[in-house]
Chains A and B, each alone.
Chain A
């Protein structure tokens, strides 16, 4: 198995397309940002819950955790779509930190999924915001940070 893995690692990676019929060209980092805010909000609510092991409290924890899981799935899918379908090699060359923004956002999202971890939830949001800023720059529009209307109190990246 080790030899097989070494062999796989040595092979150069090429691209194969599983093309969609409709290359719509519609990409937007908004959904990922909303998912990151939801992860943060669920983490805030879970942190604020009293440590009271009642049936009602267990029910609340289950529901909040479920929403956090769902939005982590959405965030991962949206980030993978941006990374694999929208951003091209020239974007990664022009913005050398783009790849690490994706890696770190996905890593912290996994941590925010596994734990009740405010730092991980905030890092996820910050990573997604960094990606959103680069996204808008590649579209030749100026990204702006505005205060979101969400109870998280965090910002959201839009463009002028």
Chain B
């Protein structure tokens, strides 16, 4: 869980909304009061790396995350469902 953290996004899987090289602000604060929902763009931990994707399905408390650029994204279609504890926070601001 992150109170606030600034991330530089590397990769093209969230284009056209978020381009490679953009900086975003991530926070878990809103998730203290509500559950992550479909449409949210979240940062989550996958092994040692932090990835950014959008929630497209929720299945029994687990989250299916996909890149907006579906033709070119490594996401839940290969990684599988992501548990709540892996989600670090929501993207709340693009710098």
Q: Are A12 and B6 in contact (CB under 8 A)?
A: yes
Q: Are B19 and A80 in contact (CB under 8 A)?
A: yes
Taking CB atoms and an 8 Å cut-off, the chain A residues in 4-26 that contact chain B are 7-8, 11-22
Q: Are A18 and B49 in contact (CB under 8 A)?
A: no
Most A CB atoms within 10 A — which of B11, B24, B25?
B11
Give the CA-CA distance A20 to B78 in the complex, in Å: 12
How big is chain B's contact interface, by range? Answer: 20 to 34
- Which A residues touch B72, using CB under 8 A? 20-22
Interface string of B1-28 (1 = CB under 8 A from A): 0001111111111110011110111100
A-B contact count (CB 8 A): 86
Q: A11-B6, A21-B72, A21-B74 given as contacts; is B13 within 8 A of A16 (CB)? A: no
Chain A, interface SS category: mixed
Is B87's beta carbon under 8 Å from chain A?
A: no
Query: What is the minimal beta-carbon distance from B36 to any residue of chain A, in angstroms?
Result: 16
Q: A83-B21, A84-B10, A84-B20 given as contacts; is B67 within 8 A of A16 (CB)? A: no
Is A142's beta carbon under 8 Å from chain B?
A: no
Q: A11-B5, A21-B72, A21-B74 given as contacts; is B51 within 8 A of A16 (CB)? A: yes
Is A115's beta carbon under 8 Å from chain B?
A: no
Q: Are B20 and A13 in contact (CB under 8 A)?
A: no
Interface string of A47-68 (1 = CB under 8 A from B): 0000000000000000000000
Q: Are B23 and A85 in contact (CB under 8 A)?
A: no
Residue on B nearest A20 in the bound complex, by CB:
B72
Q: Are A13 and B23 in contact (CB under 8 A)?
A: yes
Is A148's beta carbon under 8 Å from chain B?
A: no
Residues of A in contact with B (beta carbons under 8 Å apart): 7-8, 11-22, 80-81, 83-85
- A14-B6, A17-B51 given; name 15 further pairs at CB < 8 Å: A8-B95, A11-B25, A13-B8, A13-B23, A14-B7, A15-B10, A16-B10, A16-B43, A17-B49, A18-B13, A19-B73, A20-B11, A20-B73, A21-B74, A85-B10
